[in-house]
Amino acid sequence: MGIPFSQLETWANQGATVSAKATHESIRCGLTHEKSPVKSLIESGKAKVYLQGSYKNSTNIRADSDVDVVVELTMTFGHNAHELPPEQKSAHDLAYSNATYDWHEFRRDVIKALTLYYGASSIDTTGNKSIKLLPAPGRLKADIVPVISFRRYNYFHGVGLHSAEEGIKLYHQQTNKPIVNYPEHHYQNGVDKNSNLRTGGVFKPTVRIFKNMRNHLIEKKALAKEMAPSYFLQSLIYNVPDPCFQANHSATVYAVLKHLYENPVEGFVCQNEQHLLFGDTPEQWNVSNAHTTIMAFVKLWDNWGK
């Protein structure tokens, strides 16, 4: 039978963005008030504040309530120069000295700025990756992630003679393990996938449909909440070939499900195209969970209304 077109059309709609923008601006104010230790860094361009996640990527749905905000220190950067050939690593070491202000100090100062502005009762620093800002009237709950810039070099022959993938780096609070991600690659690849030349603006509405399908399954206790996080789910849909995305939502969802059901997913990449989607790290998805999620989607489609 399939899920009715009217339901898919409702699920395809983007959630409100006004509160997310207000939250982003509030956090910017919280980081640039007069007593903030990171005020001068942000105002001088040595650090920047920007949205990330579903609100940044226009894949937010009505159920999305958390806003992801990145605070990036750009005057300090991590790198993989140790992986370069010896002569290139030597050239890099000659070009750049060790940072005098690193991620740990930056995170400390971001926490201080937010605590001074919002009060300690509104700030939760116990998370392994983000600083949580609790919601208030006119402001959504937010995950604030302090990071430094990151360069994954392809080669390095000098300051103006190098090639690198630009990303961000932070450290896991409990393990102190470095975490590298590429949010700008993720964003630009999503824009490209959604373009008229590729999916005709259908990719992002389709992501929103599948996020709503997942939430429906969770509400019906047909899928565990932790089985399909939004980032992994969006990357799953990103790997589906462009011809599957059609002008009609019903045709698109059927084609996407058919492709995912009939084809292996093990070689899929994250939307940033810098990491494999599946693997053994905490930043990757489990193939078994993906298969369980896909089968739950198929059953939802086949048994709707029964």
Condensed to tens digits (0 to 9), the pLDDT of residues 61-94 reads: 988 878 999 999 999 999 999 999 999 999 999 9
For residue 9, give every residue at least 6 positions away whose Cβ sits within 8 Å of its Cβ, in sequence order, or none. Answer: 249
Reported as a single tens digit per residue, the pLDDT across 12-53 is 999 888 889 999 999 999 999 999 999 999 999 999 999 999
Residue 139: DSSP 8-state? B
Per-residue burial over 131-145, b if 16 or more Cβ lie within 10 Å, else e, is: bbbebeeebbebbbb
The H or E element containing residue 151 is: strand 142-156
Give yes or no for a contact between 283 and 201, defined as CB atoms under 8 angstroms apart: no
Q: What is the mean pLDDT of residues 267-284?
A: 95
Of 71, 22, 15, 63, give the one whose Cα is nearest residue 46: 71
Q: What is the mean pLDDT of residues 242-254?
A: 97
Q: What is the largest CA-CA distance in the chain?
A: 69
| Cα Rg, the chain, nearest whole Å | 21
Determine the residue type at 75: M
Residue 64 has a pLDDT of 81
Tokens found for residue 52 = 């990330």
Is pLDDT of 1 > 80? no
Percent of the chain residues past pLDDT 70, beyond the cut: 100
Q: pTM (2 decimals)?
A: 0.92
Give yes or no for a contact between 198 and 192, defined as CB atoms under 8 angstroms apart: yes
